[in-house]
């Protein structure tokens, strides 16, 4: 397995998650919200999702760049 395979897997997995979220939000996928969150709860979840996305992009990118620089 090379870095290209790993990178392709990460890209495809990310695109699938984004596609499912988008299709659910516009109502094409019949997935309904089971828990009625308060406004504070929804804001909390949104902040954590944004942090997870940021960390999920930043950490692999830094690792990839370090791997290229030091020829791992």
Range of the domain at 50: 38-72
Asked if 10 contacts 60 with a C-beta cutoff of 8 angstroms, the reply is yes
Q: Are residues 48 and 68 in the same domain?
A: yes
Q: Are residues 23 and 52 in the same domain?
A: no
- How many domains are contained in the chain? 2
* Cut 0.85: pTM above it: no
Q: Could you read off the pLDDT of 11-65 as tens digits, one per residue?
A: 899 899 989 888 888 888 887 767 778 889 889 989 999 999 889 889 888 888 8
Cα dihedral 27/28/34/37 (nearest 10): -40
Q: Are residues 43 and 71 in the same domain?
A: yes
Closest CA to 52 of 23, 29, 21: 21
């Amino acid at each position: 397995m090379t870095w290209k395979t790993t990178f392709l897997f990460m890209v495809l997995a990310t695109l699938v998650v984004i596609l499912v979220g988008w299709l659910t939000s516009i109502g094409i996928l019949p997935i309904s919200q089971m828990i009625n969150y308060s406004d504070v709860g929804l804001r909390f979840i949104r902040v954590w999702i944004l942090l997870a996305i940021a960390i999920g992009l930043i950490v692999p990118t830094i690792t990839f760049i370090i791997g290229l620089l030091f020829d791992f």
